[in-house]
Amino acid sequence: MNEIKIFVPATIANVSCGFDVLGLCLDTVGDEMTIRKTSQKGITISKIIGQDLPLDPTKNVAGVAALALLEKVDIDYGFDIEILKNIKLGSGIGSSAASAAGAVFGINEILGKPFSLEALIPFAMAGEKLASGTAHADNVAPALLGGFTLVRSYQPLDVIKIHTPKELYATVIHPQIEIKTRDARSVVKKQISLETAVKQLGNLGGLISGLYTENYELISNSLHDELVEPYRSILIPEFETIKKASSENGALGSGISGSGPSIFALSKGIENAKKVALGMKEVYRNTGIDFDIHVSKINELGIKVLAFK
């Protein structure tokens, strides 16, 4: 294989109660990337369409992730990367993660898959570190593995794929304001009380159990965040109104997608997820803020190969 074209999905990190550890993969929104072998060693980024991003591979998350992978292989050729960026920067649905995960996935495919998907996660995390200052894995892991993923441990890295209930759908509203993950992380409190930790632990355990047993009521009861939502939600216009509307329209729960400003809701069944989307639209219609809305099933596959030669 000399060239591969892939679809790299957007992702929702945290999923309310799993700050920095839980993430899920979306299906209907994502970037397209083309990666091809070059005779010259190293990484080049020849084209980025859709967003204004650096082509210098040492300043670009896709380039940094790709270079981290290349350090571990002994080859006398290199790779060129082209990105069609549909996921907007600072949207909270894993824009940087998609670039980083896509780059290492594509290169690994061309190399004949010397690395497992799990083994690609640390390379992609190097890209996340460039973007936000922290090598969090809760977007790159679901982009690479698909479905829901849990970072059981960062040191050593241990990522687990979690069961996805068949009827679970996500609705995401992206208000067109940019919140940088780096900034959103700076408002989060570094210390929490034991009482807060107990609540969060109960909800995370409940959500994981609910996902495995496909218990939608338990999923609904567990979608709460005590750690970051109270501090970050003030950065997002109409956050509480969107949450209220989602719940009135039958969503199982809702919260900030990653570091925001996107807000997600989970629903049982696509019809309910569409109803939640209409409710969100109604809230945002009169704010004067542009927005996108996506309804998506949970993508259990992750990155998809579109073509290769």
Catalytic entry in 128, 226, 229, 238: 128
Instruction: Report the residue number, 77 or 231, with the smaller CB distance to ligand HSE.
Output: 231
State in angstroms the smallest separation of the CB of 153 from ligand HSE. 15
**Tell me, what DSSP letter sits at residue 88?**
P
Instruction: Report the residue number, 4 or 130, with the smaller CB distance to ligand HSE.
Output: 130
Distances (CA, A) of 230 to 158, 190, 258, 267: 28, 14, 14, 23
State in angstroms the smallest separation of the CB of 158 from ligand HSE. 17
Distance CA 231, CA 242 (A): 17
Pairing of strands 78-84, 42-49: parallel
State in angstroms the smallest separation of the CB of 262 from ligand HSE. 10
Contact 137, 125 (CB under 8 A): yes
Question: 71 catalytic, yes or no?
Answer: no
State in angstroms the smallest separation of the CB of 228 from ligand HSE. 6
**Contact positions toward ligand HSE, by CB under 6 A?**
13-14, 19-20, 136, 138-139, 181, 184-185, 258-259
Q: How many CA atoms lie within 13 A of 102 on its CB side?
A: 34
Rounded to 10 deg, the angle between the 95-110 and 61-70 helix axes is 30
State in angstroms the smallest separation of the CB of 59 from ligand HSE. 20
Instruction: Report the residue number, 115 or 239, with the smaller CB distance to ligand HSE.
Output: 239
φ, ψ (nearest 5 deg) of residue 101? -65, -40
Instruction: Report the residue number, 27 or 229, with the smaller CB distance to ligand HSE.
Output: 229
Residue with nearest beta carbon to ligand HSE: 258
Instruction: Report the residue number, 34 or 259, with the smaller CB distance to ligand HSE.
Output: 259
Distance CA 220, CA 204 (A): 12
**Tell me, what DSSP letter sits at residue 234?**
G
Question: 28 catalytic, yes or no?
Answer: no
**Beta-carbon contacts of residue 19 (< 8 Å; ≥ 6 apart):** 188, 200, 225, 227, 228
Catalytic entry in 181, 226, 229, 238: 181
- Catalytically active residues, by annotation: 128, 181
